[in-house]
Amino acid sequence: TMNRTRSAQLYEEALQHIVGGVNSPSRSFKAVGGGAPVFMERANGAYFWDVDGNRFTDYLAAYGPIITGHAHPHITEAIVRAATNGTLYGTPTELEIKLARMLKASIPSLDKVRFVNSGTEAVMSTIRVARAYTKKSKIIKFAGCYHGHSDLVLVAAGSGPSTLGIPDSAGIPTSIAHEVITVPFNDIAALREALDRWGSDTAAVMVEPIVGNFGMVMPKPGYLEELCKLTREAGALVIYDEVISAFRFHYGSTQTYHVFPDQAAVEPDLTALGKIIGGGLPIGAYGGRKEIMEQVAPLGPAYQAGTMAGNPASISAGIACLEVLGAPGVYEEMERLAIRLADGIGAAAVKHGVPLTINRIRGAFSTHFCDHPVTNYEEAQDTDGEQFARFFRGLLEEGVVIAPSKYEAWFLTTAHTDADVDATIEAADRALRNVLI
């Protein structure tokens, strides 16, 4: 077995100083049998090296942002340049205009944007703005969708909390929980019912248009169109949380649907962004229609600010990352590799008699241990966590890293190659052999 002695030592040490030994609960191995997570020392391209000198192929991609692989030279150069010129000014810069223009050019529903430091902040801010604009307070969200750790959206919130068996976070007053209505995804009747009942008090319907937080789930054909229509009829705003999905499946958001044949293009009123648009540095952004965004200070009464917001390092890394992704064929190549990998894993599962549903969307897919389709959170919950845990541990022993959660996805990056995919299919074959025991 793989020697991870040093990781185990560091974990014991980390536990004494950092709560749970990790700075984000999703990094804990609690849901996959416990024990020490792997402490990484460095990363390059598609690989990690841990503190014991083991090499791993990375399909975690840091939960999404690392779409060009680690330490991509174009991004590294941009970060070094930014650092050399000073990391934070507290004044505007021309760089911010450049990234804003790039986002607007590829996501047409953004008239105006504002940069923040995380996806959590982006989502939080869209809610503030929607409430300021509509002068209403309730939010409708979908079971299992995760929108960061701000109060309102932590109610029934997907991958993070549910991986650890925490249905709703403690520390959220019931008065706030009363402001949130949760309905199942991909169920238009449930949304209609919620809007009939609470629509007149509802500021916004918040949705991951392609769900990343209970395992890559596509909206049913026509679902988002209907969602937008019903929401607007109720006088509420549509907020798309595209923190994971923007620039993941093609160059742009899910709002231009030409890459998804059975979907019509539907534009939200507000969009939350993060992850990929920062090229691996902390970032978030939100934006939308001009008259809505003009609620934000200094133009309007909705206050939102940030000392670190729009810092030159994050913005430069984001610009460089989008430049890499804008090259021809980049997404097609990630999709080609993802198809090969998902097909290989699927075939190995069949060979070993392991029921496995793979939800693949372009260069990303999730592996659900079940024999039914996964189209909503309930179906994602109804999968075998023990089998997933054995698969996860088997892969790790083989030097393959995915997220320690059955709700998360595998991400291909521009750094992965056919050789990586071949090796990973063999690793998955060996891991699946021991999943049913």
- Residue 141: what are its φ and ψ, rounded to 5°? -130, 175
Query: Of these, 146, 223, 286, 392, which contacts ligand PMP (CB under 6 A)?
Result: 146
- In sequence order, what are the residues at sequence separation of 6 or more whose Cβ sits closer than 8 angstroms to the Cβ of residue 390? 431, 434, 435, 437
Of residues 76-135, which lie at the interface with ligand PMP (CB under 6 A)?
A: 118-120, 123
Q: Confirm or reject binding of residue 144 to ligand PMP (CB under 6 A).
A: no
End-to-end CA distance of the chain: 18
Q: Confirm or reject binding of residue 148 to ligand PMP (CB under 6 A).
A: yes
List strands edge to edge, sheet with 237-241.
Answer: 112-116, 284-288, 270-274, 237-241, 202-207, 138-142, 180-183
What is the closest distance, in whole angstroms, from the C-beta atom of residue 153 to ligand PMP in the complex? 8
Distance of alpha carbon 296 from alpha carbon 132, whole angstroms = 9
Of residues 180-219, which lie at the interface with ligand PMP (CB under 6 A)?
A: 208, 212-213
Our CB check for ligand PMP shows the closer of 305 and 419 to be: 305
- Which of the residues are catalytic? 146, 241, 275
What is the closest distance, in whole angstroms, from the C-beta atom of residue 28 to ligand PMP in the complex? 15
What is the closest distance, in whole angstroms, from the C-beta atom of residue 241 to ligand PMP in the complex? 5
Our CB check for ligand PMP shows the closer of 119 and 318 to be: 119
Q: Confirm or reject binding of residue 254 to ligand PMP (CB under 6 A).
A: no
Q: Confirm or reject binding of residue 277 to ligand PMP (CB under 6 A).
A: no
Residue with tokens 């590829």, as numbered in its chain: 106
Q: Confirm or reject binding of residue 247 to ligand PMP (CB under 6 A).
A: no
- Give the nearest residue (CB) to ligand PMP: 119
Stretch that binds ligand PMP, among 40-48, 142-150, 322-330, 356-364 (CB under 6 A): 142-150
Query: Of these, 274, 280, 394, 404, which contacts ligand PMP (CB under 6 A)?
Result: 274
What is the closest distance, in whole angstroms, from the C-beta atom of residue 162 to ligand PMP in the complex? 13
Q: Confirm or reject binding of residue 241 to ligand PMP (CB under 6 A).
A: yes
Q: Confirm or reject binding of residue 249 to ligand PMP (CB under 6 A).
A: no
Query: Of these, 114, 138, 147, 416, which contacts ligand PMP (CB under 6 A)?
Result: 147
Distance of alpha carbon 219 from alpha carbon 254, whole angstroms = 11
Q: Confirm or reject binding of residue 295 to ligand PMP (CB under 6 A).
A: no
- In sequence order, what are the residues at sequence separation of 6 or more whose Cβ sits closer than 8 angstroms to the Cβ of residue 131? 137, 203, 204, 302
What is the closest distance, in whole angstroms, from the C-beta atom of residue 149 to ligand PMP in the complex? 7
Q: Exposed, middle or buried by CB within 10 Å (0-12, 13-18, 19+), for 241?
A: buried
Residue with tokens 């999703």, as numbered in its chain: 26
Query: Of these, 56, 63, 240, 251, which contacts ligand PMP (CB under 6 A)?
Result: 63
Query: Of these, 207, 243, 296, 349, which contacts ligand PMP (CB under 6 A)?
Result: 243
What is the closest distance, in whole angstroms, from the C-beta atom of residue 274 to ligand PMP in the complex? 5
Interface residues with ligand PMP (CB under 6 A) are 63, 118-120, 123, 146-148, 208, 212-213, 241, 243-244, 274
